[in-house]
Amino acid sequence: MNNKPIIGITMGDGAGVGPEIIVKSLASEEIRQQAIPLVIGDQKRLEQARDILGADLTFRTADKETSFAQELEDNTVYCLDLNLLSEDLPFGEVAAEAGHAAFEYLKTAIELANAGKIDAICTAPLNKEALHKGGHLYPGHTEILAELTDTQNFSMMLSSPKLKVIHVTTHIGLKDAIDRIEPERVYDVIKMAHQTLSQSGVKDPKIAVCGINPHAGENGLFGYGEEEEKVIPGVERAQSEGINVQGPLPADTLFFRAVRGDFDIVVAMYHDQGHGPIKVLGLDAGVNITVGLPIIRTSVDHGTAFDIAGKGAADEKSMLEALRQAIELAPQRIQ
C-alpha cells in the first residue's frame, strides 16, 4: 500500500486513438512511478492496441470492488473491463456502440471518484457523432461530467506550457455564444480562474479578459455595446473583490501578451477565440481541464483521429501531459 494517487483513465471512443495513446503512455515508467493507473474501458481493445504497437504492457482485470491502492508488478496496470465493444469493431469508423461505451466508461469513472476509489479522472477522446448515435445527446465530456456530478457552474480550461485559457462559453454557435455571455457568467469564470491558479500555487494570478468584438469594441466603434453590457460589469465586480484582472482587452494582441508572460491566464468569450491560440502552439501540448467540478478531470486536447486510428501512429504526448496534470492536481491519498 502507498500514497500514490489513483488515476482513472477512461478509454474514450474505442474506434479512435484512445486505446493506443493510453497504451503508449502507460508502457513508459514515468506515470507508473508517480501514480497507480486504472484504465476504465474494454480490456480486449486495449490488448489489441498493445499488440498493434508491440508494447510491453500487461493488464490486471479488476472490478469496482478492487482495492486499486495495491501497487502492481512492473509493466502491469489495472483495467476495469466493462466489455462493451464487439471484438470486430473496426478502427476509424463512427459506431453507436463505441459512443455508448465511451459514455459508460466516463459514468463508471465518476462513480468511482464519488466513492473515493480514485483520485482524479483523465479522459481519452470521444467522438460526438458516435456519442449521439449511442443515445447520449451531449456536446462532449464536459457537459456529461457536469450533469452526472450535479454541477451548475463549470468551465473548460486549456493548459499548455506557455498559455492557459478558460472559457465563458464553449460548444455552441457563435451567435448563441454572444447571447449567453452575461456579467454574472464572466464574473464566475474570472473567479474560477483565480481560485484554480491560486490553489495550484500561483500567487495573485494575473488574469486578462478578452473582448467580444474586434479591438474589444473600441469604445463602441465595433458591435452594439456588448463589452459595456456583458463583460465590463463582471470584470469590475471581480476587481472589487481584489482579484487581479484586466479587460476587456483586444483578443488579437492579448494572446501574444499572455505567451510573453504578461498574464497567467486568459478568459476567452467563445470556443474558437480560446482554442485557436492554444492549438497554434501545438496539438500535443494542450491539456483540457474541467474547472468547477467536485472531481479533478483532465483530458487530451485533440479528437479521436479516426484517420490514423489502429495504425500505431498516434502521438501520446498530450495524453502524457494530461496524466501529469491529473497527478499534480489530485489530492494526496493518505493510507
DSSP assignment of 97-144:
HHHHHHHHHHHHHHHHHHTTS-SEEEE----HHHHHHTT---SSHHHH
- pLDDT tens track of the chain, all 335 residues? 568 899 999 999 999 999 999 999 999 889 999 999 999 999 999 999 999 999 999 999 998 888 888 888 889 999 999 999 999 999 999 999 999 999 999 999 999 999 999 999 999 999 999 999 999 999 888 889 999 999 988 998 998 888 999 999 988 899 999 999 999 999 999 999 998 888 777 899 999 999 999 998 888 788 889 999 999 999 999 999 999 999 999 999 999 999 999 999 999 999 999 999 988 887 666 788 888 898 889 999 789 999 999 999 999 998 999 999 898 888 765 55
The residue count for the chain: 335
Give the closest residue to 204 by CA, choosing from 245, 254, 253.
Answer: 245
Sheet with 207-210, strands from edge to edge, namely 58-62, 76-81, 36-41, 6-10, 120-123, 297-300, 287-291, 155-159, 164-167, 265-268, 207-210, 245-249
For the chain, list the domains and their CATH numbers: 1-152+294-335 (3.40.718.10), 161-281 (3.40.718.10)
Cβ 110 vs Cβ 145: under 8 Å: yes
- C-beta neighbour count of 24 within 10 angstroms: 22
Q: Please list the residues that pair with 43 across neighbouring strands.
A: none
Q: Where are the beta strands (DSSP E) in 227-335?
A: 245-249, 265-268, 287-291, 297-300
C-alpha angle 259-262-268 in degrees, rounded to nearest 5: 65
Per DSSP, 231 falls in state I
Amino acid letter for position 173: G
Q: Where are the beta strands (DSSP E) in 31-119?
A: 36-41, 58-62, 76-81
> Measured between alpha carbons, how far is 186 from 19 in angstroms, rounded to an integer?
37
Sign of CA dihedral 28, 31, 35, 41: negative
> Measured between alpha carbons, how far is 244 from 197 in angstroms, rounded to an integer?
12
- C-beta neighbour count of 26 within 10 angstroms: 26
The reported pLDDT for the residue numbered 333 is 56
C-alpha angle 81-85-86 in degrees, rounded to nearest 5: 130
> Measured between alpha carbons, how far is 229 from 220 in angstroms, rounded to an integer?
11
Phi, psi (rounded to 5 degrees) for 154: -150, 165
Which residue is associated with the grid cell 504497437? 53
Query: Element (H or E) spanning 43, and its range?
Result: helix 43-53
Helices 18-27, 317-329: axis angle to 10 degrees equals 70
The reported pLDDT for the residue numbered 334 is 52
Secondary structure class of 161 (helix, strand, coil): coil
Helices (runs of H) and strands (runs of E) counted in the chain: 13, 12
55, three cell numbers: 508494447
The reported pLDDT for the residue numbered 1 is 53
140, three cell numbers: 462532449
81, three cell numbers: 473491463
218, three cell numbers: 473600441
Amino acid letter for position 296: I
